[in-house]
Amino acid sequence: MEDNEIWKDIPFLKGYYQASNIGRIKSLKREKVVNQYSSETVLKQRKGRDGYMIVNISVDNKSKTYKVHRLVAAAFLENPQNLPQVNHKDENKMNNVVSNLEWCSSKYNNNYGTRIKRIVETRDNSESRHRMVVEQYTLEGEFINRFTSMCEASAKTGVHQGSISSALKKKRKYAGGFIWKHAKLMY
């Protein structure tokens, strides 16, 4: 634990909750009902399904779950461009120290660091029955490339994976200016 822990109000929860520069969240002492007060308490964090640390926040008897990194960023980081996402610079979703966080665009966040490489590796290391080998063709039907997965095809071509999937399912004729087909593999 850092000796220089600094607490700041979370703007949209001012008077109720604060975030610290080392990634902790606390509820402030306040009157719950007439002459009954809640004590100041550091909240217990848990890992959400997506790997981010989360906390339960309760205001006026209404409870909501928040991601810790977003609360810390809201309290400590200016966001003059009103960017929608918070990036973890070290790519560790559990490291919510303010110096590890930055406001960013969706595109920046999606392309940051080793994310695409890790997705491709995870997909490529899964069992082969989960792989969908796909081939890329020109609109004239000339073969261009073969990919071990839609994820790899998306990462290497810049064509959205959902668009490739729609083309493979014949919901659309092409995606990203290419024809996409399931590969016919010989075993």
Domains observed in the chain: 7-111 (3.90.75.20), 116-182 (1.10.10.10)
Q: Give CA–CA dist 101/53, Å, rounded.
A: 14
pLDDT at 124: 54
Q: Is 95 exposed, middle or buried (0-12, 13-18, 19+ CB in 10 A)?
A: middle
Question: Which residue positions in the chain have pLDDT lower than 50?
Answer: 1-2, 127-130, 187
pLDDT at 34: 62
pLDDT at 166: 92
Per the CB < 8 A criterion, the answer to whether 76 and 68 are in contact is no
pLDDT at 35: 64
Listed in sequence order, the DSSP H helices in 14-131 are 68-76, 106-111, 115-125
Q: Torsion angle, CA of 117/114/50/71, rounded to 10 degrees?
A: -160
Q: Which two tokens stand for residue 109?
A: 């966040």
pLDDT at 127: 45
Q: Give CA–CA dist 181/24, Å, rounded.
A: 49
Q: Give CA–CA dist 59/17, Å, rounded.
A: 9
Q: Which two tokens stand for residue 124?
A: 């490529």
Q: Judging by DSSP bridges, how do beta strands 101-104 and 134-137 pair with one another?
A: unpaired
* The model's pTM: 0.61
